[in-house]
Amino acid sequence: MSIDYQSLAVEGVRSLTPYQPGKPIEELAREYGLEPDEIVKLASNENPLGPSPVAMEAAREALEEMCRYPDGNAFTLKQALARYLQVVPSQLTLGNGSNDVLEVIARCFAGPGDEVVYAQHAFAVYPLVTLAIGAKGVEVSAKDWGHDLPAMADAISDRTRLVFIANPNNPTGTVEGETAIRAFLDRVPERVLVVLDEAYCEYLAGTDDDVDGISLLRDYPNLVVTRTFSKAWGLAALRVGYAVSSPSIADILNRVRQPFNVDTVAQAAATAVLGDLEYLERSREVNRKGLEQLTAGFADLGLEWIPSAGNFVAVDVGTNAQEIFQGLLEQGVIVRPVAGYGMPRHLRVSVGLAEENERFLEALKRVLERREA
Ligand SMILES: *Cc1c(COP(=O)(O)O)cnc(C)c1O
């Protein structure tokens, strides 16, 4: 008798479904016999500008050191980041992407039998890290696609250890204002940690929804804010994210994270890009215009979308979103189906350059027309 090794996995892990990443360009090229440069990928909320030249230069230089282990405490990056955020370095925990930090937070503060609260349609990594540690996920119904913060406060029990909030949320693009977040935090017992995931906060600058989680740390010691270099900063492949918290919480997180979880090239590029504020500004501008272009295109096609504060937008294409997704693939356009998020009618489209957005909108029009014919 051979052993069924899957049955040996811990219970939470057995119930996991794998995270579905955006389809890589090379994979679509192989499957459909397309040239990689004819493919438009708007599926992973990456920065369409390409990397900052300043970050590229720093990364190239850092490659010279690839035979040595990285600085496990990332002294230079933490100094630069602390200055940029106006916090002290002991408040920072770096991760191999902020996904890594989210996982470390869950492992440090929850375990089997504990409850972790998050919202319906919220970022897929929250249930993933919750189930992986054997904790119980408590999913609170969304309100107008966004977080129903009063209902989330109601869902906190004696067993709750953690709450995850994505602001803005992926894949809905919804954002909760500072008043609502403060009202929520006022209701959360101090023994419950609240993780405010601000992966897209850079895109809020100058809007009415410009919530800055870090400014809330003073009033709420149970708050942990996470951010990333993967989106507006354009370093998704290098995997750098971080948490900002009290030094006491950061001390715990830093004990558990892998000692060399951010590599030398990533540290160098992230440090350098923090000095390239022009790149950040250009990223915001391209995003603002791209969102206008995409939503104007949806309006022309008679489609509804969820207003987004991020660098992507979820559009309602009707009951057969999977078929539309396939049709777009055949036209060399990769977007993201979000049925796994309980949104079977929507596709999530990342904001691209003007010509990429145009290619996508034209392809979408063709696919929709073909369905009607
Ligand atoms: C993209 C994203 C992240 C960050 O991912 P990393 O690349 O691991 O930093 C975190 N949270 C949300 C909501 C995201 O969409």
* Best probe residue, ligand 1, of 45, 93, 99, 128 (max atoms within 8 Å of C-beta): 99
CA-closest candidate to residue 99, choices 40, 184, 21: 21
pLDDT at 247: 98
pLDDT at 16 over 90: no
pLDDT at 373 over 80: no
- Smallest CA separation from ligand 1 atom 3, residue: 199
18 and 126 assigned to the same domain: no
Into how many domains does the chain fold?
A: 2
Q: Does the C-beta of 99 come closer than 6 Å to ligand 1?
A: yes
Q: Are residues 261 and 297 in the same domain?
A: no
Q: Is 199 in the pocket of ligand 1 (CB under 6 A)?
A: yes
pLDDT band at 220 (very low <50, low <70, confident <90, very high): very high
Query: Ligand 1: does its nearest atom lie under 6 Å from the Cβ of 22?
Result: no
Using the mean position of ligand 1's atoms as its centre, give its distance from the Cα of residue 300 in Å.
Answer: 31
Q: What is the dihedral of CA 119, 120, 121, 123, to 10 degrees?
A: 40
- pLDDT for res 134: 94
Closest Cα to atom 4, ligand 1: which residue? Answer: 98
Residue 250: pLDDT over 90: yes
Residue 327's CATH number: 3.90.1150.10
Residue 54 near ligand 1, beta carbon < 6 Å: no
Q: How confident is the model at residue 178 (pLDDT cuts 50, 70, 90)?
A: very high
| Nearest protein Cα to ligand 1, atom 15 | 170
Q: Which of 273, 295, 319 marks a domain boundary?
A: 273
**pTM, entire model:** 0.96
| 352 and 291 fall within a common domain | yes
Q: How far is the CA of 234 from the centre of ligand 1 (A)?
A: 12
Span of 43-52, 82-91, 253-262, 364-373 with lowest mean pLDDT: 364-373
Atom 1 of ligand 1: nearest residue by CA position: 199
Residue-wise pLDDT tens digits, 181-190 = 999 999 999 9
Q: Given 258, 273, 288, which residue is the final one in a domain?
A: 273
- With a 6 A CB cut-off, is 270 part of the ligand 1 pocket? no
Same domain, 244 and 111: yes
Write down the pLDDT at residue 207: 85
Return the pLDDT at 321.
94
One domain for residues 77 and 186: yes
CA 228 to centroid of ligand 1, rounded, Å: 7
310 lines ligand 1 (CB under 6 A): no
Residue 21 has pLDDT above 90, yes or no: no
Q: In the structure, what pLDDT confidence band is assigned to residue 155 with cuts at 50, 70 and 90? A: very high
**pLDDT 10s digits, 322-358:** 999 999 999 999 999 999 999 999 999 999 999 999 9
Cβ(168) to ligand 1 under 6 A?
Answer: no
Q: Which residues contact 326 (CB under 8 A, 6 or more apart)?
A: none
pLDDT for the residue numbered 253:
98
User: Is 284 in the same domain as 194?
Assistant: no
Q: In what order do the strands lie in the sheet with 160-166?
A: 92-95, 241-244, 223-228, 193-197, 160-166, 115-119, 136-140
Q: Whose CA is nearest to atom 12 of ligand 1?
A: 199
Beta carbons of 125 and 165 less than 8 angstroms apart: no
* Between 195 and 10, the higher pLDDT residue: 195
Q: Are residues 34 and 61 in the same domain?
A: no
| Mean pLDDT of the 283-299 span | 98
Residue 241 Cα, ligand 1 centroid: separation in angstroms? Answer: 8
Q: What average pLDDT does the segment 5-34 reach? A: 87
State whether 340 and 191 are in the same domain: no
Which of 273, 302, 325 finishes a domain? Answer: 273
Q: pLDDT by residue (tens digit) across 45-76?
A: 999 999 999 999 999 999 999 999 999 999 99
**Which atom, in ligand 1's list, is nearest to the CA of 166?**
13
Mean confidence (pLDDT) of the chain: 96
Ligand 1 pocket, 309 CB below 6 A? no
Judge if 228 and 90 occupy the same domain: yes
CA of 260 to the centre of ligand 1 (A): 20
97 lines ligand 1 (CB under 6 A): yes
Ligand 1 atom showing the smallest separation from residue 45 Cα: 1
Helical packing angle, 264-273 and 53-62, nearest 10°? 150
Q: How far is the CA of 99 from the centre of ligand 1 (A)?
A: 6
Average pLDDT over residues 217-246: 98
pLDDT of 319 higher than 90: no
Q: Are residues 126 and 208 in the same domain?
A: yes
314 pLDDT exceeds 90? yes
CATH number at 67 reads: 3.40.640.10
Does residue 154 sit in the same domain as residue 13?
Answer: no
Q: Which domain holds residue 170?
A: 55-273
Residue 209: pLDDT over 90: no
Q: Does residue 237 share a domain with residue 98?
A: yes
* pLDDT of the residue at 102: 98
Instruction: Give tens-digit pLDDT for 97-113.
Output: 999 999 999 999 999 99
From 170, 225, 233, 350, the mutation candidate for ligand 1 (largest count of ligand atoms within 8 A of CB) is: 170
